Amino acid sequence: MIGEKGDLMKEQTEKLIAYLNLLGIRISKDSFESRMKAQKLAYIIQNLLGKRLYQFNFYVRGPYSPELARDYFEHASDFAGGKSSYEPSSDEREKLEHAKTFLSNMGLSEFEIVAGLLFLMQEKGLNENDAELKLHELKPQLKLEDIWRGTNTIKKLFLTSELRDKIMNELKKELDAWDAASNISLKRFE
Amino acid sequence: MAMNNLKYSLDKKLRRLLLYARIATLVMLHYYGDNGMLYQDIKFALRIEDGALIPNLNWLKEHGYIVAKEEKVEGKSATIYYITDAGERAFNEIRAWLNTLLDR
């Protein structure tokens, strides 16, 4: 696809705009809040889908990609208008439809917490508790209860139907074993 | 060249940028480019008090290295700082000067 400046829009940019469209989110280069949301959302999305679209580093406000920043300034009207020729796969659609429930209502600070925790877990290999403590150390202005809420959001985000089915199957197996055991016990009283 | 004289190899006007709050602000704003940075983020990153930061931000503004814009962020009024073209030029000149020192 040819971008507004006549240059070829990169595949990763096309993909990100298509994913943002699925979430019902548009990015305006003229708003600081919108630009920061774009940074955090892009990081969350690429983790949700297991795809590396941009290289991120951890800076003052958490994960940040200068390359993505260049993209939303260069292709500002494409980001603002949701213009993309990329067709997300059914798997991508399913994951993002699930995530939409949580992401579409989140404020900037929640995005920062979720993206920050994800970065510390994914890139630094920290476990949940260590990531929470590290984020609080890096950003002491954040309340611990907000960070904990962020961890819960991550759990909800990554609870896809596939994972949910797997957990339910495991639970069913356990419940079946309990049912079988209780049936044996009941027969003893019959 | 004696260490004391090294800084005099830099342009006199640029020498006045060689203060922690000024140069560190310029470096961060260079990195964030058109995205800009919130006042509280600069303060947090530099770990300095308002009394030390504000006069230096004002100095950078008055000399045309940075600009400040007011914007609503999460429903509240916030000051966002951006590096200017003059700021970028100064940053690049200082970086080149530092590189020549490292190459000595």
pLDDT per residue as tens digits for the range B45-86: 999 999 999 999 999 999 999 999 999 998 999 999 999 999
Question: In which band, very low, low, confident or very high, does the pLDDT at A61 lie, cut at 50, 70 and 90?
Answer: confident
CATH number of B16-103: 1.10.10.10
A74-115 pLDDT per residue, tens: 999 999 999 999 999 999 999 999 999 888 889 999 999 999
Helix H or strand E encompassing A135: helix A128-138
Q: Please give the backbone phi and psi of residue A160, each rounded to the nearest 5 degrees, phi first.
A: -80, 170
pLDDT value at residue B95: 92
- Chains A and B form CB pairs within 8 A to the count of 35
C-alpha span between A150 and A114 (Å, rounded) = 5
**Of the partner residues A31, A60, A73, the one whose CB lies closest to the CB of residue B34:** A73
Distance from CA of B44 to the nearest CA of A (A): 8
Distance from CA of A51 to the nearest CA of B (A): 24
Residues 18-77 of A with CB under 8 A from B: 29, 31-33, 35-36, 59-61, 66, 69, 73
Q: State yes or no: pLDDT of A5 exceeds 50.
A: no
Distance from the Cα of residue A47 to its chain's centroid: 6
B29-55 pLDDT per residue, tens: 999 999 999 999 999 999 999 999 999
pLDDT value at residue B11: 84
pLDDT value at residue B31: 92
Q: Please provide the average confidence, as pLDDT, over all residues in chain A.
A: 88
Q: Which of A54-58, A85-89, B2-6, B8-12 has the lowest mean pLDDT?
A: B2-6
Average confidence (pLDDT) over A156-166: 71
CB A59 within 8 A of CB B27: no
Q: What is the pTM of this model?
A: 0.81
Q: State yes or no: pLDDT of A2 exceeds 90.
A: no
Q: State yes or no: pLDDT of B12 exceeds 60.
A: yes
Flag if A107 and B38 touch (Cβ within 8 Å).
no
pLDDT value at residue A7: 55
A101 class by beta-carbon count within 10 Å (0-12 exposed, 13-18 middle, 19+ buried): exposed
Q: What percent of chain A has pLDDT over 90?
A: 67
Q: State yes or no: pLDDT of A13 exceeds 80.
A: yes
Cross-strand pairs, A64: A57
pLDDT value at residue B58: 97
CA angle A72, B83, B17 (to 5 degrees): 155
Average confidence (pLDDT) over A141-152: 94
Q: How far apart are the first and last CA of chain A?
A: 74
Which range is most confident: A4-8, A151-155, B6-10? A151-155
Q: Indicate which of A37, A57, A58, A61 best probes the interface with B, i.e. most B CBs within 10 Å of its own CB.
A: A61
A18-42 pLDDT per residue, tens: 999 999 999 999 999 999 999 999 9
C-alpha span between A122 and B41 (Å, rounded) = 24
| Residue at B23: amino acid letter | I
Question: In which band, very low, low, confident or very high, does the pLDDT at B7 lie, cut at 50, 70 and 90?
Answer: low
Flag if A32 and B71 touch (Cβ within 8 Å).
yes
Q: Is the dihedral of CA A122, A123, A125, A127 positive or negative?
A: negative
Query: Would you say how long chain A is, in residues?
Result: 190
Flag if B35 and A33 touch (Cβ within 8 Å).
no
CA angle A73, A69, B98 (to 5 degrees): 115
Residues of chain A with Cβ-Cβ distance to B45 below 8 Å are 60
